[in-house]
Amino acid sequence: MSVAPHRKPARPVIRMIILTVTALCVGAAASFAAIIFVELVSGLNSALLVAPRSRVQWERLPWLIILATLLVPTLGGLIVGVVHRYLSPERRPLGPPDVIRAVQFHRPLPDTRSGIVSTLTAILSLGTGASVGQYGPMVYLGALFGGAARRLRADVPNLDGIAMSCGVAAAIATAFNAPIAGLVFAHEVVLRHYSTQAFAPVTVASATGYVIANVIFERPALFLVEFPGVGHGYEFVLFAFLGLVVALAAIGFMRLVLACGPWMAGLIANPVLRPGVAGLVVGLTALALPDVLGIGTETLRFATIEGAFGQGELIVLILAKITLTALCIGAGFSGGVFSPALLIGSLIGALFWTLVSGAGGIPTSGVAVYAIGAMMAFASAVIGAPLTCILIVFELTRNYDITIAAMVAVVFSNLVSHRLFGRSLFDIQLARRGMDFSKGRDRAHLAELPVRDLLSADAVTMTPEDTPEDVARRLLDRGWRQAFVLGAEGQLVGVYSPSEGQQPATLTFEDDTNLADAMERMRGFVGDAVPVVTREGGRYLGAVSEADMVSAWLDHVARIREEENAAL
Ordered by start, the domain boundaries in the chain are 12-223, 235-432, 449-564
Q: What is the pLDDT of residues 196-221, one digit of tens each?
A: 888 999 999 999 999 999 888 888 77
CB atoms within 10 A of CB 420: 12
pLDDT confidence of residue 76: 96
CA distances from 472 to 164, 269, 328 (A): 55, 60, 65
CB atoms within 10 A of CB 504: 10
Report the relative pairing of strands 492-497 and 501-503 from DSSP bridges: antiparallel
Cα–Cα distance, 179 to 171 (Å, whole number): 10
- Taking the alpha carbons of 460, 466, 468, 470 in that order, is the dihedral positive or negative? negative
Mean of pLDDT values over 315-332: 96
Would you say residue 166 has pLDDT above 80? Answer: yes
CB atoms within 10 A of CB 237: 11
Would you say residue 8 has pLDDT above 60? Answer: no
Report the relative pairing of strands 483-486 and 492-497 from DSSP bridges: antiparallel
Q: What is the pLDDT of residues 419-439, one digit of tens each?
A: 999 989 999 999 888 888 887
Q: What is the CATH superfamily name and number for domain 12-223?
A: Clc chloride channel (1.10.3080.10)
Would you say residue 5 has pLDDT above 60? Answer: no
Percent of the chain with pLDDT over 90: 56
pLDDT confidence of residue 88: 93
CB atoms within 10 A of CB 436: 17
Nearest Cα neighbor of 295 from 50, 85, 460, 552 is 50
Mean of pLDDT values over 367-380: 95
pLDDT confidence of residue 9: 57
Question: Of all helices (H) and strands (E), which one includes residue 327?
Answer: helix 311-331
Q: At 223, is the pLDDT very low, low, confident or very high (cuts 50, 70, 90)?
A: low
- Same topology, domains 235-432 and 449-564? Answer is no
β-bridge partners, 133: 336
- Helix, strand or coil for residue 492? strand
Percent of the chain with pLDDT over 70: 97
Which range is least confidently modeled, 262-271, 308-317, 515-524? 515-524
Mean of pLDDT values over 79-98: 94
Cα–Cα distance, 130 to 337 (Å, whole number): 12
Mean of pLDDT values over 155-164: 86
235-432 CATH: 1.10.3080.10
Mean of pLDDT values over 55-80: 93
Would you say residue 418 has pLDDT above 50? Answer: yes
pLDDT confidence of residue 568: 63
Amino acid at 11: R
Residues 6+ apart with CB under 8 A from 184: 385, 387, 388, 391
Dihedral angle over CA of 2, 199, 422, 320, nearest 10 = -110
Nearest Cα neighbor of 568 from 203, 150, 206 is 203
Pair 99, 109: CB distance under 8 Å: yes
pTM above 0.85, yes or no: yes
Which range is least confidently modeled, 21-25, 119-123, 332-336, 546-550? 546-550
Q: At 10, is the pLDDT very low, low, confident or very high (cuts 50, 70, 90)?
A: low
pLDDT confidence of residue 157: 79
Q: What is the pLDDT of residues 492-543, one digit of tens each?
A: 988 998 888 888 888 899 988 998 888 888 887 877 789 999 988 889 998 9
Task: Kindly state the DSSP code that residue 4 receives in the 8-state scheme.
Answer: P
Task: Kindly state the DSSP code that residue 190 receives in the 8-state scheme.
Answer: I
Q: What is the pLDDT of residues 351-365, one digit of tens each?
A: 999 999 877 788 888
User: Contacts from 65-72 at CB under 8 Å and sequence distance 24+?
Assistant: 66/287, 69/283, 69/286, 69/287, 69/290, 69/293, 70/280, 70/283, 70/284, 70/287, 71/283, 72/48, 72/128, 72/129, 72/279, 72/283
449-564 CATH: 3.10.580.10
